[in-house]
Structures are given as structure tokens and as C-alpha cells.
Amino acid sequence: MELLNLHRIVDVTAAEGPGLRCAVWTQGCSVRCPGCFNPQTWTTRGGTAMAWPDLVSRVLAIEGIEGVTLLGGEPFDQAAPLGEFAAAVRAEGLSVMTFTGFRREELPPSKLLESTDLLVDGPFLVDQPEPSRPWVGSANQRFHFLTDRYDESIFTTPNRLELRIAPDGAIELNGFATTEVLEALLEGERR
């Protein structure tokens, strides 16, 4: 069985798509957009190996989520095992939102694409900042409603930024914010 290589999992977040979701960041990205906010996810080394059925068990044990969000890294670099995962959680009623740095037209048919309700595509372009839509970094990125699970009403969701402070003082952020907002926030933390 091809193992998943994962960068991070947040069991419950309101900052990575519609409603409460489990967010799964993959490790490894072949797209490599200049100005990427997550360059530590580019290498395929250093992630956590996990069999997709184990990830299914973990996600189905989380209470109160409406779906999962798959982010990168580049999820379609691991389309085979992630497709099995996505199909299994959808069969249990969860929705699947998948981000990709590829354009939809570039993606070959896959179980991951078939099992995605909401696809957000396109590379991050640092010179085209997104002015208003939630969750995306640049204006070229497109939302594809591949099933009737979601529609354009999701655009009324405000962008959120979540900050978690671990018992050891480590700070974890997720959600989308401009560099200016992040710097202001971290400056406040240092005070």
C-alpha cells in the first residue's frame, strides 16, 4: 500500500474551508510557487508516513466536523492514497475540499478528483494578491464546485486566522493572512 506523507493535521479548524473541518497538510510539493507561505512542505523528506486507512479512522473519530480539507504541499502529488482516503470519508458523509497548485485542466483523472466536492486550483502568484475571497492567497486561484455540496454562498465566510499555543510555548498558525497581518500578530506575541 502506498503510504501518505503528511506535514501536519489539525483535527478541528474553522479557518480552512466551510464550517468546522479537519485539515490535512501533505508533505512534498512539485509546484513550488515563488513566495509560497509553506516552503517547508516542498521537500518529500521529513513528513510523517501514515497508511490511508489509519487517517480515515482518525478523522471519523473526530466529533462535529462537516468535512476534511486537503492542503499542501501538493495533494495531487499523492493522488492515489489520498484518493482512497477521500472516497472513504465521503462515503461516511463528510465533504472533501482539496487545494492544488495545478490548474484543473492539468490534472489527470484520479480518485482524488472524483472524491472532491470543492476544488481550489492554481498556483500562488505573489503579484496577484486576493482582495476578498476566503482561504485563497491569489486572485488567479479558482473554486470549482464539483458536486452540489457547496455553492457560491461560501464566499460570505470571513477569512479566519487561528493561533494555537502549545504547552511548550510553540506557536502554530493556520488560516490565511497577509505578511503584514502575521508580522503585527507575532510582534504582539513577543511583547
Q: List 4's β-bridge partners, or say none.
A: 50
Nearer to ligand SF4 (CB atom), residue 72 or residue 81: 72
Q: List 99's β-bridge partners, or say none.
A: 120
User: Look-up: residue for cell 485563497?
Assistant: 136
The grid coordinates of residue 36 equal 509560497
Can residue 41 be called a binding residue for ligand SF4 (CB under 6 A)? yes
Q: How many residues bind ligand SF4 (CB under 6 A)?
A: 13
Interface residue with ligand SF4, options 2, 32, 80, 155 (CB under 6 A)? 32
**Cα 35–chain centre separation:** 17
Instruction: Identify whether the C-beta of residue 76 lies closer than 8 Å to the C-beta of residue 100.
Output: yes
Can residue 120 be called a binding residue for ligand SF4 (CB under 6 A)? no
Work out the angle at residue 62's Cα, subtended by the Cα atoms of residues 170 and 94, and round it to the nearest 5 degrees.
120
Sketch the per residue contact string, 131 through 170, with ligand SF4: x for CB under 6 A, - otherwise: ----------------------------------------
> How far is 82 from 64, CA to CA, in rounded Å?
22
Quote the least distance from Cβ 190 to ligand SF4, whole Å.
Answer: 26
Interface residue with ligand SF4, options 17, 28, 47, 72 (CB under 6 A)? 72
Hey, how many other C-beta atoms are within 10 angstroms of the C-beta on 54? 12
Interface residue with ligand SF4, options 9, 10, 31, 87 (CB under 6 A)? 31
| Residues binding ligand SF4 (CB under 6 A) | 29, 31-33, 36, 38, 41, 72-74, 101, 123-124
